[in-house]
């Protein structure tokens, strides 16, 4: 519980009574006005700028707004916005008939994550469409889905990072009760649910926060404008708001993990960072529920403080996205060194990412023009999440093009193989498993024409460094959104079925091989054979070992295997078997002729 002893914000049911809590520290009069019932409920001032009332006259579905000194606004802690971001808020009862009491999410090291955008995952654009694909995801072998932000945003087409009601589940997706049904269904299938949340900014359209109080501060600035107020005067309001939001997702929606977007953009120089407060709140929830809950972050600072324990004044997040693995991998397969790829040196940096996680761990960054990063020594592999594709790395390409449309089939297979052979948590993006060529560009459906034009111009400017003559897709266009919707009929034909079989095999290998399923970083050695463009990984546990060899060249390469074991090939990415070089006396593999752009796993006999 926060220092202000606020149990919740917004309108929430407690038994038969409805409790209303609003933070408006400079207001003189605050009223909750129910539009359908022409009922006014005056709130009484409390400590620290809060206003409070209880009522038995409020029912689920009632539409209301909050009157602050004579002006009405939607509730910033609204649980539902059925008429959109400018309409009245709706009262929700979050009590749900859960059947997941015996469900426990996987251990950190057992996560295999599948990222989903609800609006484009199926043609129904909603939670029910996601639920109907549970058999596919279960058969694929993933252990967790990660859902891009679902906080209410303007219109019906958005990545979710323009959300303006962090407590309200996007109405066009099905709202709160449908999302609860989704979580319950995935838990019944023994699949965890990770939710992407945004605590670094609030979207521009439908943002009524400043009408209530100083949720923002001009002390700092972010790419989205004034920063959310985490350490300036009256910051307790914003901090309470976020901690309450974390508690809601874990307790009322049974979410297993939160993925916190771009935490490097959270400006907080107070004695207790907001992430530390979130960590402490999450630990209390874990203790109370007896169920694991995880905090994953996106962070580009290469600062181990985000992962270090609270006892070392760290933030103790459970894992972070490791973009540098992705960037080094992309350059290794031929991505032009433009934009944020410009300072990556391909295979040597990829080898470093396998071994040390951060490519920039205190060395000089030419892109940033400074020495950058810290080491990650002693941090377990499951503290990092890696990928060859995700929503950012596809959608932030100008055309939203996927790996299979850029690279050959062999390279695409090798990229996925590289991810699953790492000591880190693997993540794949929806449709990647069957190699769909459907793009995932950036899209919006704002109602403000001036804002739409600003977004259009911003997208054009973003790609200045990539020196392209192609036209940037219009993010407001409905056709751009429709092109991103997955076509599940593709699974009935080749080459998609063969690609799906490959991913199933790769995931099964990762989950069942005793040396791969829980690789410890201190058990992994990495060797880069630069002249042959070969990467060789070796994992040894007691008397067993595996060797992973990846050929990042466009020609056949010959590589000798270590001599301390007899080896057998257990997996390769090639569609046709390449030539083995066998010891004729022992009938075991001693060397291998590696096909171009292929990966191989050898196990000791």
Measured CA to CA, the distance from residue 279 to residue 137 in angstroms comes to 30
Measured CA to CA, the distance from residue 383 to residue 425 in angstroms comes to 8
Measured CA to CA, the distance from residue 555 to residue 565 in angstroms comes to 27
Measured CA to CA, the distance from residue 174 to residue 365 in angstroms comes to 45
Q: Write out the two tokens for 458.
A: 């911003």
Pairing of strands 113-116, 425-429: parallel
**What is the DSSP code (8-state) at residue 207?**
-
Q: Given CA atoms 203, 208, 212, 217 in this order, what sign does their dihedral have?
A: positive
Cβ neighbours, 10 Å, residue 566: 16
Closest CA to 217 of 206, 205, 232: 232
Cβ neighbours, 10 Å, residue 535: 24
Q: Which residues have a Cβ under 8 Å from the Cβ of 479 and sit 6 or more positions away?
A: none
Cβ neighbours, 10 Å, residue 503: 20
Kindly calculate the radius of gyration of the chain based on its CA atoms and give it in whole angstroms. 25
298 is catalytic: yes
Of the residues 75, 240, 252, 298, which is catalytic? 298
Phi/psi for 333 (5° steps) reads -100, 10
Q: At which residue do the structure tokens 């929606």 appear?
A: 253
Q: At which residue do the structure tokens 């001693």 appear?
A: 590
DSSP H or E segment with residue 113: strand 113-116
Closest CA to 533 of 428, 420, 411: 411
Of the residues 232, 261, 277, 433, which is catalytic? 261
DSSP, collapsed to helix, strand or coil, labels residue 249 as helix
CB 537 within 8 A of CB 548: yes
Q: Which residues have a Cβ under 8 Å from the Cβ of 65 and sit 6 or more positions away?
A: 33, 35, 72, 73, 74, 75, 88, 89
Closest CA to 591 of 554, 566, 555: 566
DSSP 82-110: TT-TTS-EE----------TT--PPPGGG
Q: Write out the two tokens for 368.
A: 């940033």
In 189-322, which ranges are continuous DSSP H helix? 235-251, 274-289
Measured CA to CA, the distance from residue 433 to residue 130 in angstroms comes to 16
218 is catalytic: no
Instruction: For residue 72, list its beta bridge partners.
Output: 67
Q: Which residues have a Cβ under 8 Å from the Cβ of 174 and sit 6 or more positions away?
A: 126, 127, 128
Around 19, how many Cα atoms within 13 Å sit in the side-chain half-sphere? 10
Would you give the distance in Å from CA 597 to the centre of its chain?
A: 29
Measured CA to CA, the distance from residue 169 to residue 162 in angstroms comes to 13
Counting beta carbons within 10 angstroms of the beta carbon of residue 401, is it exposed (0 to 12), middle (13 to 18) or buried (19 or more)? middle
Q: Which residues are catalytic?
A: 261, 298
């Amino acid at each position: 519980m926060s220092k202000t002893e606020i149990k919740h914000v917004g309108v929430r049911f407690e038994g038969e009574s409805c409790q209303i809590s609003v933070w408006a520290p400079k207001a003189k009069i605050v009223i909750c006005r129910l539009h359908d019932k022409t009922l006014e409920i005056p709130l009484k001032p409390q400590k620290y700028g809060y206003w409070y009332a209880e009522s038995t006259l409020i029912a689920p579905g009632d539409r209301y707004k909050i009157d602050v000194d004579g002006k009405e606004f939607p509730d910033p802690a609204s649980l539902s916005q059925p008429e959109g971001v400018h309409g009245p808020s709706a009262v929700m009862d979050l009590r749900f008939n859960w059947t997941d009491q015996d469900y426990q999410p996987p251990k950190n090291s057992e996560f295999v994550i599948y990222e989903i955008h609800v609006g484009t995952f199926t043609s129904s654009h909603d939670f029910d469409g996601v639920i109907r694909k549970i058999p596919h995801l279960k058969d694929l072998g993933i252990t967790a889905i990660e859902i891009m932000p679902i906080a209410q945003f303007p219109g019906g087409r958005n990545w979710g990072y323009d959300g303006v009601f962090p407590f309200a589940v996007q109405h066009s997706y099905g709202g709160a009760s449908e999302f609860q049904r989704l979580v319950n269904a995935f838990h019944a299938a023994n699949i965890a649910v990770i939710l992407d949340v945004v605590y670094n900014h609030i979207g521009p359209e439908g943002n009524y926060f400043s009408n209530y109080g100083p949720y923002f501060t001009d002390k700092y600035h972010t790419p989205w404008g004034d920063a959310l107020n985490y350490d300036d005067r009256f910051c307790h309001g914003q901090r309470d708001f976020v901690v309450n939001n974390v508690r809601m997702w874990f307790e009322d929606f049974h979410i297993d993990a939160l993925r916190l977007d771009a935490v490097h953009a959270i400006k907080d120089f107070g004695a207790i960072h907001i992430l530390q407060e979130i960590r402490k709140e999450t630990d209390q929830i874990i203790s109370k529920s007896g169920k694991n809950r995880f905090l994953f972050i996106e962070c580009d600072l290469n600062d181990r403080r985000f992962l270090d324990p609270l006892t070392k004044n760290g933030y103790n997040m459970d894992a972070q996205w490791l973009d540098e693995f992705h960037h080094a991998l992309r350059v290794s397969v031929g991505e032009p060194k433009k934009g944020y790829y410009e300072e990556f040196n391909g295979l040597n940096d990829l080898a470093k990412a396998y071994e040390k996680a951060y490519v920039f761990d205190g060395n000089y960054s030419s892109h940033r023009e400074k020495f950058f990063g810290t080491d990650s020594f002693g941090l377990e592999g499951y503290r990092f999440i890696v990928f060859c594709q995700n929503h950012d790395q596809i959608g932030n390409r100008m055309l939203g093009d996927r790996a299979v449309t850029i690279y050959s089939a062999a390279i695409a297979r090798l990229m996925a193989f590289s991810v699953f052979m790492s000591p880190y948590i693997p993540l794949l993006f929806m449709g990647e498993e069957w190699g769909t060529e459907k793009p995932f560009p950036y899209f919006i459906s704002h109602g403000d024409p001036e804002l739409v034009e600003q977004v259009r111009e911003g997208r054009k400017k973003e790609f200045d460094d990539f020196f392209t003559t192609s036209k940037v897709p219009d993010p407001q266009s409905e056709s751009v959104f429709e092109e991103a919707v997955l076509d599940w009929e593709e699974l009935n034909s080749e080459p998609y079925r063969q690609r799906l079989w490959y991913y199933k095999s790769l995931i099964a290998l990762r989950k069942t091989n005793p040396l791969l399923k829980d690789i410890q970083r201190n058990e992994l050695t990495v060797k880069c054979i630069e002249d042959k463009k070969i990467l060789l990984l070796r994992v040894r546990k007691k008397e067993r070992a595996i060797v992973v060899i990846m050929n990042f060249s466009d020609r056949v390469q010959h590589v000798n295997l270590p001599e301390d074991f007899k080896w057998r090939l257990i997996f390769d990415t090639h569609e046709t078997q390449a030539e083995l070089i066998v010891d004729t006396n022992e009938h075991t593999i001693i060397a291998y002729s590696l096909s171009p752009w292929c990966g191989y796993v050898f196990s000791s006999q």
